[in-house]
């Protein structure tokens, strides 16, 4: 049998921007290369189809980091308008995409909505200068012919163009600032439209590739599309001479396995979800790159053929290219990882770096599979020199990293996955985000408050019914004694997820529009501390998964002021609003070590100290 080149593998590799000829590759161009694949049914497309039919809507802005697929959304919208509810053929998708490339400057309508309104699309605001962009934004706030405009803009360019229009001394009108105000209100309250309903701004940085939905989001969908035997995509591999030594085919078989494939794909999805909850914005383009690299191991069919021709039976080179190793980008350079930032976050959550006795004790080097990470004789033989011992230790570290990663994806127990990523507080973080949470359980709240006290340098033993806020002047001092500015009862403090926070800030109780406008995943939790004065709102402190992990460890006694200075400074700033700057009492509460004392000013300006 001959050596076969699988065109499906070639299509998958087009999403990897590491080759010189792929430096300008973007998601939409790669997507158009695969005519057999239907687009992911993203909810944002459904929202757009509905939004353009609203009679009050005039301008829709799709914003967020580069790579979210803003252009692709517009192309799919045009295809929907052209074909209605019918299945959209690949040639129609190609046609509308080319039309968008040609007429995506909003110079003339590219389609009509179902209600007959002309539709203008500005494909990329970044292609215009700041002045031209500002003028175009003002123009598209009221499109000609009672039309509707869709503007694709990276957030940075959008803010610059709006600032340019806000410069009245340079001919600006000041009208475009409604776009940034709507964007800002969306971040604060989750709404995507202005009060009049004329402007809609969808912030795609809230778009998740591992959405909390029935389908599991974009990443599981891509894996199913690429690994299933649909249209006999993998049939050429069945007749390839190199199939027995090919890690690409092995990865496909592992992820498509009828018994273990679903749990492996679910573990990959949970890893991406943890990355987003840890503060990373994983764009559609980055997700495609990572999954493509994971499935192919960074190899092409030609790479596999070359190794096969050197040795038909060599099984020692495949291990780094298996999916559970390639996912963390070990073989990539630091520069390549920075080009796809998702790799950097995934490496922080690498289960191969986390030693847990209950995991390591059951790992067996003799069960690594047919592609072992090294020769067992090399790390079992007796070390005779220091250099041999160091080499042996390095090999053992690599072996156990390999085994931990493989076991992470093969394990049927999903309860300890956060702990295996090094996140002891991950389960509590997710519990807050569940609607069926137990409101009477105050464990997470108390630990959250204790961590915030530790941020200020307060370390009290036991469980306390109140929360201490230092005077801001003492936040950075870490002295033995500190002035207590306020004591807050824990009773009315609550920990909520992102959607609940938006509902409380909006004071309407309605589900925020952002929740339904994007593929949604709760990425942050908030602790809401009641207002400190009449007329003021509650003070909310936002944390992502990594910050919550730090707070939990600080609450348990970890001291790391220097290493995490930036996080401590940010959290301390959030607490400054709780400080009582108007306290005029002659009594001052001071925390000396862990002992509360009262300083009272007596006659003759004498200061008396008593235990509180």
pLDDT digits (tens, 9 = 90+) for 548-589: 999 999 998 887 766 777 888 888 888 877 776 555 555 677
**Cβ(462)–Cβ(486) under 8 Å?**
no
Q: What is the 3-state secondary structure (H, E, C) of 277-291?
A: HCCCCCCHHHHHHHH
**Cβ(208)–Cβ(518) under 8 Å?**
yes
Q: What angle do CA 284, 286, 287 make, to 5 degrees?
A: 65
Say whether 153 sits in a helix, a strand or coil. Answer: strand
pLDDT digits (tens, 9 = 90+) for 124-164: 999 999 999 999 999 999 999 999 999 999 999 999 999 99
Nearest of 431, 430, 447 to residue 439 by alpha carbon: 431
Q: Dihedral angle at the C-alpha atoms of 144, 149, 152, 158, nearest 10 degrees? A: 70
Residue 229 has pLDDT above 90, yes or no: no
Is the pTM of the predicted complex or chain greater than 0.85?
yes
| DSSP, residue by residue, 327-348 | TTTTTS-HHHHHHSTHHHHHHH
Biggest CA–CA distance in the chain, Å, is: 103
Nearest of 175, 100, 91 to residue 140 by alpha carbon: 175
Say whether 49 sits in a helix, a strand or coil. Answer: helix
pLDDT digits (tens, 9 = 90+) for 15-56: 999 865 454 444 444 444 454 556 788 999 999 999 999 999
**DSSP code at position 594:** T
d(CA 165, CA 130): 9
Question: Beta-carbon neighbour count of residue 251 at 10 Å?
Answer: 23
pLDDT digits (tens, 9 = 90+) for 94-132: 888 888 888 889 999 999 999 999 999 999 999 999 999
Q: For 290-325, give one letter per residue: b (16+ CB within 10 A) or e.
A: bbbbbbbbbbbbebbbebbeeeeeeeeebbbbbbbb
How many helical (H) and strand (E) elements, i.e. helices and strands, does the chain have? 27, 13
Average pLDDT across the chain, whole number? 86
Q: What angle do CA 338, 342, 348 make, to 5 degrees?
A: 95
Nearest of 391, 423, 389, 417 to residue 404 by alpha carbon: 417
């Amino acid at each position: 049998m001959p050596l076969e080149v699988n065109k499906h593998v070639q299509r998958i590799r087009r999403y990897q921007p590491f080759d010189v000829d792929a430096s300008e590759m973007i998601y939409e161009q790669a997507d158009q290369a695969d005519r057999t694949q239907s687009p992911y049914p993203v909810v944002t497309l459904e929202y757009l189809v509905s939004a353009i039919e609203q009679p009050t809507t005039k301008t829709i802005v799709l914003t967020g980091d580069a790579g979210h697929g803003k252009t692709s959304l517009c192309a799919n919208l045009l295809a929907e308008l052209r074909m209605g509810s019918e299945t959209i053929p690949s040639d129609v998708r190609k046609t509308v995409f080319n039309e968008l490339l040609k007429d995506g400057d909003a110079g003339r309508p590219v389609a009509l909505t179902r209600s007959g309104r002309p539709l203008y699309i500005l494909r990329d605001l970044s292609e215009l200068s700041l002045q031209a962009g500002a003028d175009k934004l003002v123009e598209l706030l009221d499109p000609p012919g009672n039309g509707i405009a869709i503007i694709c803009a990276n957030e940075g360019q959008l803010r610059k163009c709006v600032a340019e229009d806000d410069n009245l001394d340079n001919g600006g009108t000041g009208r475009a600032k409604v776009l940034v105000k709507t964007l800002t209100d969306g971040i604060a309250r989750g709404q995507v439209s202005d009060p009049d309903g004329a402007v809609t701004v969808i912030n795609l940085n809230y778009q998740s590739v591992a959405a909390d939905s029935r389908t599991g989001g974009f990443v599981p969908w891509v894996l199913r599309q690429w690994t299933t035997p649909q249209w006999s995509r993998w049939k050429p591999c069945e007749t390839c001479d190199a199939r027995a030594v090919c890690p690409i085919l092995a990865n496909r078989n592992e992820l498509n396995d009828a018994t273990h494939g679903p749990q492996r794909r679910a573990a990959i999805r949970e890893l991406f979800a943890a990355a987003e909850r840890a503060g990373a914005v994983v764009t559609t383009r980055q997700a495609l790159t990572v999954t493509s690299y994971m499935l192919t191991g960074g190899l092409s069919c030609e790479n596999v053929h070359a190794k096969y021709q050197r040795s038909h039976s060599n099984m020692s080179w495949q291990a780094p290219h298996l999916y559970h190793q390639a996912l963390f980008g070990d073989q990539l350079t630091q520069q390549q990882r920075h080009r796809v930032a998702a790799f950097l976050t995934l490496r922080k959550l690498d289960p191969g770096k986390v030693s847990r006795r209950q995991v390591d004790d059951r790992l067996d080097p003799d069960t690594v599979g047919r592609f072992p990470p090294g020769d067992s004789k090399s790390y079992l033989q007796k070390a005779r020199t220091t250099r041999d011992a160091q080499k042996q230790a390095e090999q053992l570290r690599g072996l156990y990293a390999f085994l931990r990663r493989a076991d992470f994806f093969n394990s049927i127990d999903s309860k300890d996955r956060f702990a295996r990523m090094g996140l002891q507080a991950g389960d509590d973080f997710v519990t807050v985000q569940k609607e069926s949470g137990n409101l009477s359980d105050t464990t997470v709240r108390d630990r959250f408050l204790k961590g915030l006290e530790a941020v200020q340098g307060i370390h009290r033993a036991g469980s306390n019914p109140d929360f201490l806020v230092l005077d801001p002047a003492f936040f950075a001092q870490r002295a033995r004694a500190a002035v207590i500015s306020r004591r807050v009862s824990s009773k009315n403090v609550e920990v909520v997820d992102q959607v609940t926070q938006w509902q409380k800030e909006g004071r309407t109780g309605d589900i925020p529009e952002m929740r339904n406008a994007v593929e949604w995943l709760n990425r942050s939790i908030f602790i809401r501390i009641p207002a400190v004065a009449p007329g003021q709102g509650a003070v909310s402190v936002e944390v992502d998964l990594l910050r919550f992990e730090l707070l939990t460890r600080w609450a348990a006694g970890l001291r790391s002021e220097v290493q995490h200075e930036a996080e401590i400074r940010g959290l301390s700033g959030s607490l400054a609003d709780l400080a009582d700057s108007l306290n005029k009492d002659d009594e001052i509460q001071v925390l000396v070590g862990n002992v509360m004392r009262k300083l009272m000013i007596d006659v003759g300006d004498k200061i008396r100290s008593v235990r509180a």
